[in-house]
Amino acid sequence: MSELEIVQARTTDVPAIAKLWHDGWHQAHAAIVSPTLVASRVMAEFTERTAAHLDHTFLARNDGQVAGFYVLEGDELYQFYVAAGFQGQGIAAAMMASVENTLAGRAAWLACSVGNDRAARFYEKAGWVRRGEEVYQVETAKGAQSVTIWRFEKDLR
């Protein structure tokens, strides 16, 4: 990790974030969620979702390249992705420190798809506590779909 900066995302960042989100989602979820959900996760959907959540999206750039992003919705770490070419380089840890700094003073939580073991290990290593499984509604272009998630929490108060 050379020169990492984490900034509020801008409209001009939407295409890069949407591509990273699309690619990262398929890398992490395509084998563990329903085929119906996988089929709905097309590039256009990620572009639309990125634009809809832009006000709460933070972009990580490493030497000017898009390395990752995260989205906060209230007390929830709603999305968290590191680009494949930057995984294993400490980017995720730096991004998580930024998340926790932003959410300081709150009881934070996140949803992790059951079976996404790599992400779960990272969250646990970062001090997030797995509280159990629950059904979570994910947004799609055709309406909400249910997925089973592990709920992680961290008291940042």
CB 71 within 8 A of CB 18: no
Rounded distance between C-alpha atoms, residue 132 and residue 91, angstroms: 27
Residues with Cβ within 8 Å of 107's Cβ and at least 6 positions away in sequence, in order, are: 75, 153, 154, 155, 156, 157
Q: What is the pLDDT of residues 14-72, one digit of tens each?
A: 999 999 999 999 999 999 999 999 999 999 999 999 999 999 999 999 998 999 999 99
CATH of the domain at 34: 3.40.630.30
Q: What is the pLDDT of residue 142?
A: 86
The DSSP call for residue 65 is: E
> How many domains does one find in the chain?
1
| Whole-number percent of the chain with pLDDT over 70 | 99
Query: Which range of residues forms the domain containing residue 118?
Result: 4-155
Q: What is the pTM of this model?
A: 0.95
The DSSP call for residue 33 is: S
